[in-house]
Amino acid sequence: MTFLEKLEKAITDEWKAYHFYKELKTKTNNPLFLEFIEEPMQDEKKHYEMFQYLHYLLTGNYYENEQEKVKFTTFKEGVLMALKDELEAADSYRDMLFEMPNQQAYQPLFTAMTDEMNHATRFSTIYNSLK
**pLDDT by residue, tens only, the chain of 131 residues:** 999 999 999 999 999 999 999 999 999 999 999 999 999 999 999 999 999 999 999 999 999 988 888 999 999 999 999 999 999 999 999 999 999 999 999 999 999 999 999 999 999 999 999 97
Contact call for residues 94 and 113 (beta carbons, < 8 A): yes
- At residue 85, the pLDDT reads 97
The predicted structure's pLDDT at residue 55: 97
Please check whether residue 28 is in contact with residue 38, taking contact to mean a CB–CB distance below 8 angstroms.
no
The pLDDT of residue 66 is 80
Q: Tell me which CATH homologous superfamily contains domain 3-129.
A: Ferritin, core subunit, four-helix bundle (1.20.1260.10)
pLDDT at 93: 97
Confidence at residue 19, expressed as pLDDT on a 0 to 100 scale: 97
Q: Tell me how far apart the alpha carbons of residues 35 and 15 are, in angstroms, rounded to a whole number.
A: 20
Measured CA to CA, the distance from residue 45 to residue 128 in angstroms comes to 26
